[in-house]
Structure 1
Amino acid sequence: MKSCKSQAEESVLMNMSEEVAPPRKNGELEFQEPWERRSFGMTLALYEEKKYSSWEDFRSRLIEEIKGWENSEQKDDSDWNYYERWLSALERLVLETGMLNKRDVDARTNEFLTGKRDEVFY
């Protein structure tokens, strides 16, 4: 049976260091909320579509986000969520590379938060 994982996903996950690798349960990626899976999928889709030059572009931002959290006062807070760091790294990537501007990101975020949008359309 053929795996549902994309080549990009397999390649990316195999090369992620333990310090930044996504959470797993019984060897499978673990997502607690739908938005976590969406942000993971969007990151890989943008990578597959070559919207950013290399996986390192995202990975370096993710490492910075995790280190920033570790060095913050929030570290003592029990509300650690790996995918919040992932989403912050993705948001930085799309803003810093010019894929979207801050106004567009804020507008789309507001649509999801207010329930005006609950699906991703392409």
Structure 2
Amino acid sequence: MRHSFLALTCSIAALASALLLADTKPATAACAIGQNHFRYHNGEDQWPATSSAAAVRTAYANATCTLASTVHQTGAACRGGMGNNHITVDVNGVRYHVFGYAVANNNARYCTTTVINNQVVVVNN
């Protein structure tokens, strides 16, 4: 009987240890907040979750992106006439501009641009 109890105790401890070590993903999807950018008042820090750029959405889900700015209006708008409020998000050395409005016909994902060969391009994938 004593041997069975010891075996059961060891099995439970091994199972608990395996469960704790099995999930190595971040507990919460999010981007890290970059230096000097502390305040996001209207959910802007969650815009990357629904970015039109797959790389940004994936980085947000894996918590491997950095919010490089708060909302601002410099640079070119994603779509003419739609406004220029956006945040910047860094993913693997690439800076993306995620705007506060959706791209038509793209599952209501937020319009996202980046610069390729010195040209601002909309990333829609």
Superposition TM-score, scaled by structure 1 size:
0.29
Larger C-alpha radius of gyration, 1 or 2? 2
Q: Write 1 or 2 for the structure with the bigger share of helix.
A: 1
Superposition TM-score, scaled by structure 2 size:
0.28
